[in-house]
Structure 1
Amino acid sequence: MQLGNERFVSGAPRHPRQDVERRTELANGQAPDVALLGCSDSRLAAEIIFDKGLGDLFVVRNAGQVVSDSVLASLEYAVAVLGTPLIVVLAHDACGAVQAAIDIDAPDARPLPPYIAGHIARIRPAVRKSGSHDPEVVGLAHLEQTVQALVERSELISDAIAAGTLAVVGANYRLLEGRVVPDVVLGSIES
């Protein structure tokens, strides 16, 4: 993952495994090396920023990389069924969902539509925990809480980490430079 991101940052991506042969190879199954929970922000295309190809990443996305039942089910599928040894939770700077969680307390804040408000409510604990209105500080607190929520809410994920068959990395993507910086690591990523 780090090497692919370095190629992307330097402007020399290889665009690996994106051909007819790879597509044919994957037609009857998949075995991705990484499951990725990321923000649905259009500037955060995981296969591009990590210079990966078809079948390399099992990607789950929603605004603000919030843990939900469908996210947990998808990640448990990746770990239990596909044998994926690494989950990356990918946050980023200038996240609109994080900013919305901060702005909801502003005196002039407009009410959010119900589904957006419910979704943003899951980021609000990071605002309270951080004691800040700085989006980067809140974003890091939310990333840490997201990684912790995966472990606390999923016995399967927690057991796999304890067994040494899974690691979870929380990382931040820097939009301007294109670099991914790991911030939280649970389990062993040595391999």
Structure 2
Amino acid sequence: MCDSQACTTMASAPTRRLFLRMSGASAFAAALTGNLAVAAEPIVLPKPQNALSPDAAATSLMEGNARYVSGVTRRHDFVHEREALNNGQNPFAAVLSCADSRIAPEYAFDSARGDLFVTRVAGNFVNGDVLGSLEYAVVVLNVPIILVLGHDRCGAVDAAVKVATKEATYPGMIHSLVTTMLPAVEKVKGKTTNLLDAAIAQNVRDSMANLVAQSAIIQEAKKAGKLKVIGGVYRLSTGKVDLLES
């Protein structure tokens, strides 16, 4: 037997434990419901106009380039762009471009901030860092198109031509960089009267092929119809981008 106070304490203990369990369960349920509610909310894209199909993205790029060539470009609202992009990005295209200072993809396609995800390296070739960057653009940013952008009179490809035809050598890591473009030169050597132009175009095609061949992510997105990989050559004298057949 117990005294009245002890019995009261013992009798109330299960009630308190039950209350605590129920309170904890209610809190968990509320938290879970809240999380589900948040998850169910539609994703608000920073730039909804950038949610394009691969074909529409290609059209948008070339329309922008036509504006750039004509000199009649759009006026950009930098303040509004900063506000819209403060918490995220959803570019409509990824670009692998040469690092040449005379080429600015954002200008060449009359695009605004947040429109293009640009990776640049001299010679616009594919290495591990470039591939990882573009895979990020495909998987995380859901870009519908990748453009490999070369340009005429490319110094990196010209250096590769000199290695192939004159056994030229270059200091430091420059020679290593240049030799990555030798396969493109060798493929067209002896088949053209303008080796440099042909090698520039072939180098773009090789980079397009390497992106697909070396990345399961890009392969799968392309096979699913979610992604296109295209190539082009920028003309320094006019600003025009000529698309290449793959």
Same fold (TM over 0.5): yes
Higher strand content, 1 or 2: 1
Cα distance in 1 for residues equivalent to 2:95 and 2:233:
12
How far did 1:106 drift? 4.6
Q: What residue is the counterpart of 1:99 in the other structure?
A: 158
Higher helix content, 1 or 2: 2
Aligned partner of 1:28 among 76, 80, 87? 87
SS for the counterpart of 2:91 is: coil
Cα distance in 1 for residues equivalent to 2:197 and 2:93:
25
Matches within 5 A, 1:178-189: 178-185=239-246
Query: Does structure 2 retain, via aligned residues, the 8 Å contact 1:90–1:171?
Result: yes
SS for the counterpart of 1:104 is: helix
Cα distance in 1 for residues equivalent to 2:175 and 2:223:
35
User: What's the TM-score once normalised by structure 2's chain length?
Assistant: 0.72
Cα distance in 2 for residues equivalent to 1:63 and 1:108:
20
Q: What residue is the counterpart of 1:140 in the other structure?
A: 201
SS for the counterpart of 2:173 is: helix
SS for the counterpart of 2:88 is: coil
Q: Which is greater in Rg?
A: 2
Query: Does structure 2 retain, via aligned residues, the 8 Å contact 1:15–1:53?
Result: no
1:13 matched to 2:73? The reply is: yes
Cα distance in 1 for residues equivalent to 2:75 and 2:99:
21
CA change 1:15–1:94 in 2 (3 A) is: farther
Query: Does structure 1 retain, via aligned residues, the 8 Å contact 2:94–2:118?
Result: yes
List alignment gaps of at least 5 residues for structure 1. 186-191
- Percent identity, please: 42
Measured on the aligned residues, the alpha-carbon RMSD in Å equals 1.4
CA change 1:96–1:42 in 2 (3 A) is: same
Aligned partner of 1:160 among 192, 206, 221? 221
**Higher RCO (C-alpha under 8 Å, 6+ residues apart):** 1
User: What's the TM-score once normalised by structure 1's chain length?
Assistant: 0.92
List alignment gaps of at least 5 residues for structure 2. 1-60
CA change 1:108–1:89 in 2 (3 A) is: closer
Letter in 1 for 2:182: R
Q: What residue is the counterpart of 2:140 in the other structure?
A: 81
1:115 matched to 2:173? The reply is: yes
